[in-house]
Amino acid sequence: MDIALLTPLPPQQSGIADYVFHLLKGFTKHEKINITLFSNGTINHLLGYKVIHIDTLIEKQLNDYDLIIYQVGNNIHYHQYMLTLLKQYGGIIHLHDLVLHHMVAGMNYNADDEQMTLGYFDIIENHYGKANKTYIENKLTDEGIAVWESKEVIDFPLFEEFVQYADSCIVHSDYALNRVKAVFPQLPTYRIDQLYDLQPLIKTKKSSNCLEIGVFGGVDLQKKVDIVMEVLADIQALNLKMDFKLEVVGAVNENCEAIFSLPIELGIEDKVCIHGRVDEDVYNELLNKTDVIVALRVPTMGETSAVVMQGLQLGIPVIVNNVGWYHELPEIVDKVSAVQLKQGLQALLLKYLEPNYLQIKTQAISDYAQEHFNFNAYIANYQAILTHEHHCQLNKPLYPRLTKVFKDLGIIDDDILLRGCLEKLEGIF
């Protein structure tokens, strides 16, 4: 089975690029799958796979493959080119971000006059109706508020603009599955976990009575790092016997730069370290010493958290919000309500500061991960999806498969005549 995989790749700074790297490592063990990578990155080979730059793609070249897979996220730099190819070839969308509104808006922004094109509002009307188009347009023109910068964006995710051209779809959560199926009930849609090929952590015995807390990944407003710091300041005021240390690991968005001075304002500067973006070795070193990961997301954009899944696979307890995909995580994962975020987070962190709670929770997470998060089984499931989709492609009726081929070759351009010819061919075969 020959597969074209369109995706960002390392060293591009993309969570999807990191995920695909692990996916490809898994597929290197399967001889029946031949993958060619298409990307707009600069790398020529990855793990032995051939990489073709998307700018060198020859017309109709993707027709040579049994399956085409698009790894789709919300970053305009890595994914916008995929829409044109989806319209032309179709294929399987592996949808990492349910909300693609930011990217679609960026693709329809006129930089010359600094405003949205009419095409953007046409897209809104096409997927959400005239009333919502008017609402979004008025909000932008009258109030200066873009819907993609508000909490309402989850109600207008615009994944539809890409998924409408897909032959099938892969997602990582029931939340995303249900949203996709509500719009495209006939579209084959598969839900699989988001797993990584990780080496077990080498945990050393704690040398101090200090709880190591980690916040990993790019820091934006939704991650509520300021709330985490405020909660830890409140805990410090309780003068407990057990100490804590907070490591913030990831690039800090410019609208979150206040967190650099916040530890000083809260009087916890000696207990907080903000690293920014780090290389893989430092990342793994910091992850290795982490006792508990705090991964808040308010509001959720329907995303699946790579950091959370990596932590769970490695047996590290995590604290998340009880929304979207996070709500689907097993009961052993600690969850806090977004409504009472500070109170809930403080109550949970105080538990981790109690004797034995961390040890019990870590063991429970490790046992669950060993049973449910097997990477080899995950790759086998992914391969099964691709095999099934390949079978479905081979067994599609002749008319929809050959119509495009005949027209591309210029053999027949009359729809009625074409249908008649293909119906006779179907009868023969």
Residue 309, token pair as written in the block: 């899944």
Q: Are residues 149 and 217 in the same domain?
A: no
Mean residue pLDDT of the chain comes to 89
Structure confidence at residue 358 (pLDDT): 93
Q: Are residues 32 and 162 in the same domain?
A: yes
Q: Are residues 162 and 240 in the same domain?
A: no
Q: Are residues 343 and 401 in the same domain?
A: no
The verdict on residue 238 lying in a domain is yes
The verdict on residue 381 lying in a domain is no
Structure confidence at residue 241 (pLDDT): 80
The verdict on residue 272 lying in a domain is yes
Euclidean distance between CA atoms 38 and 52, whole angstroms: 5
Q: Contact at 8 Å (CB) between 27 and 386?
A: no
pLDDT digits (tens, 9 = 90+) for 354-411: 888 999 999 999 999 999 999 999 999 999 999 999 888 776 655 555 555 565 566 6
Q: Contact at 8 Å (CB) between 216 and 307?
A: yes
In this structure, what CATH number is given to the domain that contains residue 216?
A: 3.40.50.2000
The verdict on residue 379 lying in a domain is no
Q: Are residues 256 and 335 in the same domain?
A: yes
User: Residue 272: pLDDT above 70?
Assistant: yes
End position of a domain, from candidates 137, 163, 191: 191
Euclidean distance between CA atoms 322 and 160, whole angstroms: 26
292 forms beta bridges with 213
pTM above 0.75, yes or no: yes
The verdict on residue 386 lying in a domain is no
The verdict on residue 92 lying in a domain is yes
Structure confidence at residue 422 (pLDDT): 57
Domain count, the chain: 3
Euclidean distance between CA atoms 37 and 44, whole angstroms: 9
> How would you class 231 by CB atoms within 10 Å of its CB: exposed for 0-12, middle for 13-18, buried for 19 or more?
buried
Structure confidence at residue 113 (pLDDT): 72
Residue 213, token pair as written in the block: 């807390």
**CA end-to-end span of the chain:** 23
pLDDT digits (tens, 9 = 90+) for 260-269: 999 999 999 9
Q: What is the mean pLDDT of residues 305-311?
A: 94
Residue 311, token pair as written in the block: 């932590």
pLDDT band, residue 415 (cuts 50/70/90)? low
Residue-range definition of the domain harbouring residue 362: 210-373
In this structure, what CATH number is given to the domain that contains residue 84?
A: 3.40.50
Q: Contact at 8 Å (CB) between 36 and 49?
A: yes
Euclidean distance between CA atoms 429 and 420, whole angstroms: 15
Report the relative pairing of strands 49-53 and 45-46 from DSSP bridges.
antiparallel
Q: Are residues 347 and 223 in the same domain?
A: yes
Q: Are residues 164 and 33 in the same domain?
A: yes
pLDDT digits (tens, 9 = 90+) for 88-128: 999 999 999 999 999 999 999 887 776 788 899 999 999 99
Q: Are residues 161 and 26 in the same domain?
A: yes
The verdict on residue 201 lying in a domain is no
